[in-house]
Amino acid sequence: MNNRPMKLYFSRNYNPRLAVAVARYLNSPVEFEFASPFSPGESEKFLKLNPNQCLPILVEGETSLWEADAIACRLSRLAGSDFWPTGDAMPDLIRWISWGYWNFVRACDQVHFERVTKQRYGLGPIKHELVEAGLSRFASSAVILEQHLAHRDWLVGGEPTYADFRVACVLPFAQLAGLPLADFSRVEAWHARLMEIPAWRDPFAGLDAPELPPLRAEAK
């Protein structure tokens, strides 16, 4: 049993969102703290916790753990939960986490970065050739998910696992990014099932979590 106080530093971006969703799904005994590691005066504090200076970060006593996948594993182990299965299903879980990150998530992220992130923070014009490449990769990856979900509700086993959360981490932003989720009915239905889970649908409910900046007009 873990008796050390735990704090999860987060923001509303999709990897920190993923970590918060996991913690709330598992009812983890963590204190949530919204953070801005790159804000003036914050660098020294967060570089000590994560040399990448990125969120999410889980602090337990005097130790810190960074990267959403590692945090999900740790919280699942502390909860004694099959959300991160440790038996014969674990290789399948790792397969989907790995495949998802390098394929589906990266495709979603490429489109989201051009159409959303750059417009939030004034990072320059949309590179439409990158959007098209991302959409092509999204489609080819979604076909694989579509086939896998033909006769099952979840990616691994009969209940939601971290594989579902990880692979779907950008999909709450799909409409904003213009990802054609409706072209893949099983993938769309799978994410609709995830959206029925309160911790996934609104992980920030009741937390002090300022909204992300609004989108600006596209830079020319």
Grouped pLDDT means (10 residues each) for the chain, 220 residues: 84 96 98 94 93 96 96 97 95 98 97 96 95 98 98 97 98 96 98 98 97 77
How many domains is the chain partitioned into structurally? 2
CA distance 105 to 100: 6
Does residue 75 sit in the same domain as residue 96?
no
pLDDT at 4: 78
**What is the CATH number for 45?**
3.40.30.10
Among 42, 59, 79, where does a domain finish? Answer: 79
**What is the CATH number for 95?**
1.20.1050.10
73 is a domain residue: yes
Does residue 24 sit in the same domain as residue 49?
yes
The model's pTM is 0.95
pLDDT at 217: 72
219 is a domain residue: no
Burial 83-105 (b: 16+ CB within 10 A, else e): bbbeeeeeeebeebbebbeebbb
Does residue 128 sit in the same domain as residue 171?
yes
Q: Are 166 and 109 in contact (CB under 8 A)?
A: no
Which range marks the domain in which residue 37 is found?
Answer: 6-79
Q: Are 143 and 186 in contact (CB under 8 A)?
A: no
Q: Are 172 and 194 in contact (CB under 8 A)?
A: no
CA distance 40 to 96: 38
Does residue 193 sit in the same domain as residue 103?
yes
